[in-house]
Amino acid sequence: MLDFDVVQLSRLQFGLTAMYHFLFVPLTLGLSLLLAIMESVYVMTGRAIWKRMTKFWGILFGINFAMGVATGITLEFQFGTNWAYYSHYVGDIFGSLLAIEGLMAFFLEATFIGLFFFGWDKLSKVGHLTATWMVAIGSNFSALWILIANGWMQNPVGATFNPDTMRMELTSFYEIFFNPVAQSKVVHTVSAGYVTGAVFVFAVSAYYLLKGRHIEFAKRSMTVAASFGLAAALSVVVLGDESGYTASQNQKMKLAAIEAMWETEPAPAGFCVFGFPDMNHHKTHFEVKVPWVLGLIATRSLDQQIPGILDLVKDAEGRIQNGLIAYQALKDLKTNKNNQQARQLYKIHSKDLGYALLLKRYHEPILGANIEQIKQAATSTIPNVPWLFWSFRIMVGIGLFFIAFFGIAFYLSAKRRLDAHPMFLKLAVMILPLPWIAAELGWFVAEHGRQPWAIEGVLPTFCAASALDVGPVWFTLIGFVVFYTTLAIVDVFLMQKYIKLGPVKTLLKG
């Protein structure tokens, strides 16, 4: 059994690296599409101001894109360094998705981004517009394949464990691609990126209006951002509802933990707006609920129950005991591959094999575990409920705020009154950090809510890690934090520099 401290450090390293990387991804997604929209208007109208807008926001996009690449590359290397058994166990599936992302999306994006920056005087208007749209499509394709890979970790369809090779193997690429968890995750996450891009453009433009600079440039940029941001904010909330439905089908413990639902309630369950979850006493203090809402969102029905945390723990106990039968059958097959009885037993109980592996934290060999250890392993399937509960509610609150904000922005834009409300412009500047906060909280809910699984129901996180010493992991963890913090500071410095220069000086300087 691996030293659990190493596992925790590896989790912390990967989590911090991913969250640093995701500081840059949403803005890349949002700005790439906004650039394509702005340049499309330029090509259709021929008005030079839209070309200047595309160039200026393109410079800020380029800075952010470079930082995203620098922070993203090391994530893939960590699968081989810190998560070697994970790579061995599911490399046939997960590795293929990452390879497709690199070949289909990243190369496309990287190729056309050069044409975007250096092709203004070498390509026709339509040719350059095509390159800009290819950058936007490439950015979204990249997100598509990464999120399909992540969705498979949340709901591992289209693959099965082969008892002869002792690895997961691909059985249906179609099922993996059209995995409902992956599809809802793609549209929800990408829409959140669009909101980030819209908030960024709107906030910077509001700053210019408050300073009395680049008035026409700022008004047009805000008009595009307002309509784009409203559509994106509505999409985030609507598609977040779909994510709740898929979680009720495939990740029942995550949903119950997010809602701090300890006991199974009569259908339809109420939505807990406020409360203080208590992990020690398995209850939620000062709970305020809205009747029926959770049941309607999560089950699309009035009569389907949502199981509570404690009932799911009892279910996990049963699955662990069934998984032990599959584990014993695997041992028998390793001794004799022609043992048909063992093969049949494994086939019957194979879906619960991952639950038996949870016992490795409590007893080795797992076949000798007692009832108390089985209960401990089952209880370990409960993630940190208070963290999930409040992270989710803050994220949702920010999402609803953006709908209201962009609704007002769209109205003022339609009335051509964006510059008549300085308090609203100041608010636009102040809320600039909010989309990043919401995005990071969303990833925390998605990933921490899956614990203790690296792959939901299949491979526990502590089984997926490499057998490393604590020292090297600490060294690389500190190194990554220092390096990525430096990159984040450089990114903010460069962004501020070019924003303060403004579109005219920036383009002359370029």
**What token pair was written down for 230?**
């409203």
**377 within some domain:** no
Element of type H or E holding 421: none
User: Given a cut of 80, is residue 111 above it in pLDDT?
Assistant: yes
Pair 100, 145: CB distance under 8 Å:
yes
Q: Which amino acid is at 284?
A: T
To which residue do tokens 């995701």 refer?
22
Please indicate, yes or no, if residue 360 is contained in any of the structural domains: no
pLDDT of res. 505:
61
Per the structure, the complete domain to which residue 136 belongs is given by 19-253+385-504
Of all residues in the chain, the percent with pLDDT exceeding 70 is 98
Q: Which whole-number Å values give the CA distances from 393 to 26, 308, 387, 445, in the listed order?
A: 20, 19, 10, 10
Q: Is 278 inside a domain boundary?
A: no
Distance (Å, whole) CA 154 – CA 150? 7
CB 366 within 8 A of CB 356: yes
| pLDDT tens digit sequence for 269-286 | 989 999 999 999 999 999
Asked if residue 281 is part of any domain, the answer here is no
The dihedral built from the CA positions of residue 249, 254, 258 and 262, taken in this order, carries a sign that is positive
Tell me the pTM. Answer: 0.93
Q: How many domains does one find in the chain? A: 1
Taking only the tens place, the pLDDT of each residue in 374-431 is: 999 999 999 999 999 999 999 999 999 999 999 999 999 999 998 889 999 999 999 9
Residue 249: what pLDDT?
81
Classify residue 307: in a domain, yes or no.
no
- With contact defined as beta carbons under 8 Å apart, do 64 and 27 qualify? yes
- Establish if 106 belongs to a structural domain: yes
Q: How far is CA 284 from the centre of its chain?
A: 27
- Residues 278-327: tens digit of each pLDDT: 999 999 999 999 998 888 888 888 888 999 999 999 999 999 999 999 99
Q: Is-contact 410 230, C-beta < 8 A? A: yes
Euclidean distance between the first and the last CA atom of the chain, given in angstroms as a whole number: 56
In a domain, 341, yes or no: no
Structure-token pair, residue 31: 């700005």
In a domain, 372, yes or no: no
